Amino acid sequence: MTSDSPAISQTPSRQGPARPSRAEAEAAVRTLLLWAGEDPAREGLRDTPRRVVKAYEEFFRGYAEDPVALLSRTFEEIEDYDEIVLLRDIRLESHCEHHMVPIIGRAHVAYLPGKRVVGISKLARVVDAYAKRFQIQEKMTAQIANAIQHVLQPRGVAVVIEANHQCISTRGVHKPGVGMVTSHMLGEFRENPSTRREFFAMIQSRSCTAE
């Protein structure tokens, strides 16, 4: 493993286009309803723009999260523990940046501690910080691994994501049930085949099929 830290994607800068107001966002939803052929003024849709904007606040809360800050509280009293730390089957809900439809799956996150470890809930929160944004799965997998490597400086990091994409199951080629698997290995997980095999054996020791 080189001494250079991998690039890390943190909270996106707000230096780009100005963020629209809530009223403007709701107006955009009404425009989409009209374009789809609906009447935004009818009873069943009257509150839909407000509900959609509120849902977007939850779907994309990752833009307000800083992965580095999430991982900043670590513990050094590890009694020389130097084996794999794995958090498996982390539920993942994201949205495809190409079609704005859901990506649903699971992440498996492992690292080989150096001098410190982090609370396991923080690993799950880092997954959420990147998942709760518009994403492509390949980029998200690398972002999670790079953030852990950057902050914890472990001897290695491994991230695998298994997910189903509605952009191919509900539109386009219409292939439901197709799963996508991506991985990103750093340090000993990349350089040492036996460490990599141990990691994959650990995540495959029982079914990890995405819901």
**Which residues are annotated as catalytic?**
96-99, 137, 165, 167
Q: Are strands 134-135 and 85-96 parallel, antiparallel or unpaired?
A: parallel
In the chain, % helix, strand, coil (3-state, to 5) comes to 40, 25, 35
Alpha carbon distance 62, 132 (integer Å) = 4
Scanning 63-176, the segments in alpha helix (DSSP H) are: 67-70, 120-131, 137-152, 166-169
Residue 103 backbone zone (phi > 0: left; psi -120 to 50: alpha; other: beta): beta
